[in-house]
């Protein structure tokens, strides 16, 4: 099995891109990390870059795709964020989301974890096989029956997070403890809310289905966000990861 990865990150209508994303591949493993600096907090761009850097370094050193290691990587990155908060007054309140994907393409399995409202989608055989759950006020409203799922993108409470990187107390990222066996042609999309705000889940799935490559899928997403966004639209970032035939 082989892995193909493409990355998109744009500042939209904002002066600074507070998103960060990156990946590393080697020795039969691939690690992808995406983070969105929480708006309204000083140092949001610093937070997202630290999350990506620290998680990737932690995973790369261990070359382990287990859910346990993903959880440890997120906790390590959170500890580093807390250290920077204490050392610098200008970033003392910085926060960020995080979503992490780890693939062992020799053993053919994937694990992931996240905190906040940046998402992971897992596509297989014409359906969304799995999707992360947002740690947000609007997600709780949907699950309580007070808000229709389609209304989450327009809700004024959309950006109110219940969990984030940079929290000292009760830090509890969601990590899927069951590593999933991969099939050839499986596809993943990691994205910030600047992407899924403008494209419904079904549209993101359709883009993955009709595209000839992960790069093409991100070009389509980019054009759709630009077409539907506003002059002051949020930063938007995504990582597309496709499994392919191969040794």
Place of tokens 């870059």: 49
Q: In this model, does residue 211 exceed pLDDT 90?
A: yes
- With beta carbons less than 8 A apart as the criterion, state whether 5 and 244 touch: no
Residue-range definition of the domain harbouring residue 56 = 2-244
| Token digits of residue 24 | 């590393």
Count of structural domains, the chain: 1
Mean pLDDT of 107-130: 95
The CATH number assigned to the domain holding 88 equals 3.60.40.10
| Token digits of residue 8 | 């998109």
Model pTM score: 0.95
pLDDT-based confidence at residue 170 (cuts at 50, 70, 90): confident
Mean pLDDT of 82-110: 94
Residue 91: count other Cβ atoms within 10 Å of its Cβ: 20
């Amino acid at each position: 099995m082989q892995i193909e990865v493409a990355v998109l990150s744009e500042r939209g209508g904002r002066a600074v891109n507070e998103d960060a994303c990156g990946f590393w591949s080697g020795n039969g493993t691939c690690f992808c990390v995406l983070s969105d600096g929480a708006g309204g907090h000083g140092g949001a761009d610093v937070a997202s870059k630290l999350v990506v850097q620290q998680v990737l370094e932690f995973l790369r050193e261990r070359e382990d795709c287990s859910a346990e290691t993903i959880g440890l990587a997120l906790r390590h990155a959170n500890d580093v964020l807390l250290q920077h908060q204490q050392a610098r007054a200008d970033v003392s309140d910085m926060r960020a989301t995080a979503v992490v994907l780890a693939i062992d393409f020799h053993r053919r399995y994937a694990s992931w974890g996240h905190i906040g409202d940046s998402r992971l989608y897992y596509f297989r055989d014409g359906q969304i096989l799995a999707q992360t759950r947002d740690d947000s006020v609007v997600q709780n409203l949907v699950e309580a029956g007070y808000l229709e799922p389609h209304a989450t993108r327009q809700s004024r409470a959309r950006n109110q997070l219940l969990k984030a990187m940079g929290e000292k107390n009760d830090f509890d990222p969601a990590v899927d403890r069951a590593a999933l066996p991969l099939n050839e042609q499986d596809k993943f999309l990691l994205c910030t809310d600047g992407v899924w705000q403008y494209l419904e889940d079904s549209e993101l799935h359709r883009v993955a289905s009709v595209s000839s490559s992960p790069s093409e899928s991100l070009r389509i997403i980019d054009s759709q966000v630009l077409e539907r966004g506003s002059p002051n639209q949020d930063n938007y970032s995504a990582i597309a990861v496709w499994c392919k035939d191969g040794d």
